[in-house]
Chain A
Amino acid sequence: MLSRPKRAHSSRVVARLLQSLFVVWAAATAAFVLMRLAPGDPYTTRIDVPANERAQWSAQRGFDQPIPVQYVKWLRNLAVGDFGQSSYFKRPVLDVLRDVLPRTLLLMSLALTASVLLGMAIGAWQGTRVGTTGDSLLSTGSLLAYSVPEFWLGILLVQLFAQSLGWLPASGMVSTEYEYLPLSARIVDRLRHLVLPLTALTLLGTSLFARFQRSSMRDAWNEPFVQTARAKGLTERGVRWHAWRTALVPVVTMFGLMFPSLLGGAVFVESIFSWPGMGHTAVLAVNARDYNLAVAAVIVGSVMTVSGSLLADVLQRAVDPRTAA
């Protein structure tokens, strides 16, 4: 038999999971309805085909049926894991997701990791040196980086490092000759193609984390426990460590919130660097009125959002056990 606190914890977890499920369902339903209310259907842009013929195709696929009828059918299929066919890619939606999602997750996870590590390091350093020249320079730098739009930064990076200097490839995940290179060269090739999109995505995240970390570190640095730790004879490094752990909570929350927002950033970055990932595919699906794929993209986005939020909770409890109470 579970003890009372454990039982309360379990019901909190169940409630949170149900809440997450509701969020995903609500987002998917809203996307389903809005996509069908938007002008056009999957055949609209095939303008070379007479409208009457396109209307016949639409009816064949059931797009002329009332939205509730289409919704029930879609929900029934979804319940058995069938996301349907992509009208644009002419493939099962799951096959398309299987191709594009790992590419975006690779880019996002690397960008997020780099942003967190760099941002925390820079912010923590600044937080203990508030008001110094170094702090001012880094603050100005991070503000500048934060205010630069990702797409503009991406274009700038391509112009400079790919077109002008020719140091790095401008686009794609691998080179044209990739399949015919030896293994070592393939690894290098993949890394070279990651540099520019990753930089574009990381810079914004780093500046954001740095600003949060600096602020929370500065607050923690002025707390009485820091003085106490010093009075107890703890080394300066030890004092910093204690202060940093306390200053982690807002950064961890930010980590969870940043997780889905990177997907938004990936939309621009994927287009500029021709990185065939989820962001670009989602935009394509909406423009092509690829109903099934667009709704699946929303489901993926909402799953990432609730996962980020759950992850933030878990990490928050890990760094600050008081929040678990």
Chain B
Amino acid sequence: MTPLRYSRLLAGALVSTLLLACSPEQQPLDTREEGGTVAIGLSGEPASLLPPLVGSDHEQAIVEVLYDRLADIGPALATVGDAGFTPRLASSWQWAGDSMSISFTLDERARWHDGQPVVADDVKRTFELYTNPLVESSQAALLANIDSVSVSPPRTATFWFKRRSPQQFYDAAYHMFIAPAHLLQDADPAELSLAPLGRSPVGTGRFRFVQWNSGDRIEVIADTTNFRGRAILDRVIYRLFTDVGAAVVSLFTGEIDFFSPLPADDLEKAGKTPSLRVVAYPSLKYQLMLMNVRNPASVEEPHPVLGDLAVRRALSMATNRERVVRAVFDSTAGVARGPTTGLFIPENATLRELPFDVAAARALLDSAGWQIAANDSVRAKNGVRLRIEVLVPAGSPNRDRMAVLLQDQLRAVGAELVLQRLEINTLITRLERANFDAFMHGWNMSPGLVGLRQVWTTGSFGGAGNNYGGYRSPTYDANIDSALSSFDPVVAQRTLIRALQTIIDDAPGIWLAEDGAIAGMHERIEPGVLSATGWWHGLPSWRIPADKRNDRDRIGLTPAR
């Protein structure tokens, strides 16, 4: 055979291969209600899928469909008593007469994905791991009010509490995903991350684990024999991206079906892409410019500029928050009213916010002695200039844009904002040493409102919590304590409103955005209502109508080749 013939044969074979590779296999039309495969983009790779080690959103997104809590929080995110909670791994529960313990009875139908029955020992072992300091679980602090867990074999686990609290049911049922004790019996808490279960999870959720190709994907399929019924989708493939930009491009090109949060810059394009749908859902995150009220040189003394209440209030009043939020987030976020999202502010609350009033802000500064000297554009008092260094996390474009807008707006009242963009570790180190003036901050609330205590009470300054700005107000502390400890919903609501009003008046931050989250998804997906606690919350109920399914949906439950 001549070389030419060889090359022709080779070319023919290559073309045939390409054609074969590109032509989809003919499949019969799938008319089942169940079915479909969704490819979800995650902007990062989980470190472990072992419940006590879960920290990031992309870990939570997968663990929540593989494992179960004892009970699930209701859509109103109520955390007082057990109102609104629905059974998950526990089929029922019983409060002790003195409310110092709650006994959970596990669903007798519940099985681990390896076929073993779920027993009370699983709950006990899970609690031990979550609270063992050697495990380094980020949830451990949230379980501090639980003293111990005892078991009555085979299926009753009793939580014993240190003190009565309106949120003790929430503490026991919500913060932990129950892990299989029979696969963790010999695990060393200090080396828990090395347990095989971390990369090959065995849960009770409506999806079961299939594979984890490091750096590429994690796959789960519907658990067809699950005690709560199988997931509607056949399969979910989580594609792991090293970069948000790459994930967004893959959404536009159809390589993935779902990505959230979609950056605001890509919304317009997503809206114009016929194959995509943009879905907004509530978020528990708010953003602010946090002000340090303590002197960085001596934290017991007030900050030379921001320790002055008049300055903080004037800066808040000089900020057109509506304009800042619209410029940065367009319509995807609201204006924050205080240190929480609107979801947690009682509907009947009439909070007095500081108005946007530049003239009043100037007058306030004048009356407080902050004057503009001739030939200067920045106010000063007793030789101290109204100059504020604002720390901005590098690589956080939204916070950067907000900081630039604030810089511009506050110049109008004679305040000079100097933006300092810092690498995240350097930034946090400075925050923890209280070595800063102001910081473009964002905080993710949890349903229990513990954030209001963790971020703003006097006791949470200096390492015990996240009160970096050193805000101190006995009124706020007392009210928030009552709000979080009162069993009377009316009292709890009234004191929460008082606490919020106190902190709004004290202005330890300029409340900016109350984030809304945006998901971009393929138009064939019907996800139902996306939850504020995470888009993944209702994943087992997502559906793809049979008449809209594509080749990806026809992968079905078949194992990989």
Contacts and interface: CB of A to CB of B under 8 A. Distances in A.
A271 B215 CA distance: 12
A247 to B, nearest CB: 30
Interface of B: 17-18, 20-22, 39, 45, 47-48, 53, 55, 133-134, 136, 138, 140-141, 190, 193-194, 198-199, 211, 214-217, 219, 237, 239-243, 245-247, 249-250, 252-253, 255-256, 423-426, 428-430, 432, 444, 454, 460, 463-466, 551-552, 555, 558, 560-561
Contact of A271 (B239, B243, B465): B243
Nearest to A174: B216
A179 B246 contact: no
Given A47-B466, A49-B141, A289 B425 contact: yes
Contact of A179 (B194, B240, B426, B560): B560
Residue from B39, B47, B444 whose CB has the most chain A CB atoms within 10 Å: B47
A176 B551 CA distance: 11
Interface string A178-189: 011111110111
B242 A90 contact: no
Given A39-B429, A180-B558, A274 B552 contact: no
A121 interface: no
26 contacts: A39-B426, A40-B425, A43-B136, A48-B138, A48-B444, A49-B138, A49-B141, A53-B141, A56-B133, A60-B134, A91-B47, A163-B252, A163-B253, A173-B216, A176-B217, A176-B255, A176-B256, A180-B558, A182-B20, A184-B17, A188-B17, A272-B245, A276-B45, A276-B214, A276-B240, A287-B424
B428 A274 contact: no
A188 B19 CA distance: 10
A25 interface: no
Interface in A279-297: 280, 287, 289
A266 to B, nearest CB: 12
Interface in A157-174: 158, 162-163, 166, 169-174
B561 A91 contact: no
A44 interface: yes
B48 A50 contact: no
Contacts of A280: 242
A103 B215 contact: yes
Nearest to A279: B242
B429 A272 contact: no
Contacts of B21: 181-182, 184-185, 187-189
A90 B135 CA distance: 12
B216 A52 contact: no
Given A57-B136, A182-B21, A170 B246 contact: yes
Contacts of B17: 184, 187-188
Contact of A50 (B18, B252, B465): B465
Interface string A35-70: 000111001111111111101110010000000000
Contacts of A55: 463
A244 interface: no
Contacts of B561: 179-183
Nearest to B14: A188
Interface of A: 38-40, 43-53, 55-57, 60, 85, 88-92, 99-100, 103, 158, 162-163, 166, 169-177, 179-185, 187-189, 270-277, 280, 287, 289
B432 A177 contact: no
Contact of B428 (A44, A188, A271): A44
Contacts of B558: 180
Contact of B241 (A48, A92, A99, A171): A171
A239 B216 CA distance: 51
Quick one: which of B140, B214, B555 has the most chain A CB within 10 A? B214
Nearest to A96: B214
Contact of A99 (B47, B215, B423, B551): B215
Given A90-B47, A181-B561, A45 B424 contact: yes
B432 A90 contact: no
A187 B53 CA distance: 37
A103 B213 CA distance: 13
* Residue of B424, B425, B552 with most partner-chain A CB within 10 A: B425
B216 A276 contact: yes
A90 B237 CA distance: 22
Given A55-B463, A91-B193, A177 B551 contact: yes
A171 B215 CA distance: 12
Given A179-B560, A181-B561, A163 B249 contact: yes
The 7 closest A-B pairs by CB, nearest first: A276-B215, A40-B425, A185-B21, A90-B193, A179-B560, A274-B246, A39-B429
Contacts of A169: 253, 255
Contacts of A173: 215-216
Contacts of A181: 21, 561
Nearest to B558: A180
Nearest to A277: B215
Contact of B215 (A48, A100, A187): A100
Nearest to A274: B246
Nearest to B454: A50
A271 B44 CA distance: 11
Contacts of A189: 21
A47 B48 contact: no
Given A100-B214, A184-B21, A270-B242, 17 more contacts: A47-B466, A49-B138, A49-B141, A85-B194, A90-B193, A99-B215, A163-B249, A170-B250, A170-B255, A171-B250, A179-B211, A180-B560, A188-B18, A271-B246, A275-B242, A276-B45, A280-B242
Given A85-B193, A274-B247, A276-B240, A40 B426 contact: yes
Contact of A158 (B47, B240, B249, B465): B249
A150 to B, nearest CB: 14
Point out which of A49, A60, A189 has the most chain B C-beta atoms below 10 A from its C-beta. A49
Given A53-B141, A176-B255, A275-B242, A170 B215 contact: no
Nearest to B190: A60
Nearest to B560: A179
B253 A166 contact: yes
A47 B428 contact: yes
A91 to B, nearest CB: 7
Contacts of B39: 176
Nearest to B138: A49
Nearest to A57: B136
A56 B237 CA distance: 37
A274 B241 contact: yes
Contacts of A49: 138, 141
A255 B246 CA distance: 31
A89 B44 CA distance: 11
A276 B241 CA distance: 8
A275 B17 CA distance: 25
A280 B214 CA distance: 13
B552 A177 contact: yes
A147 B22 CA distance: 37
B184 to A, nearest CB: 15
Contacts of A273: 246
Contacts of A171: 241, 246-247, 249-250, 255
A295 to B, nearest CB: 16
A44 B429 contact: yes
A52 B214 contact: no
A162 B193 contact: no
Nearest to B38: A176
Contacts of B429: 39-40, 44
Given A40-B429, A50-B141, A99 B214 contact: yes
Contacts of A174: 216
Contacts of B133: 56-57, 60
A51 B198 contact: no
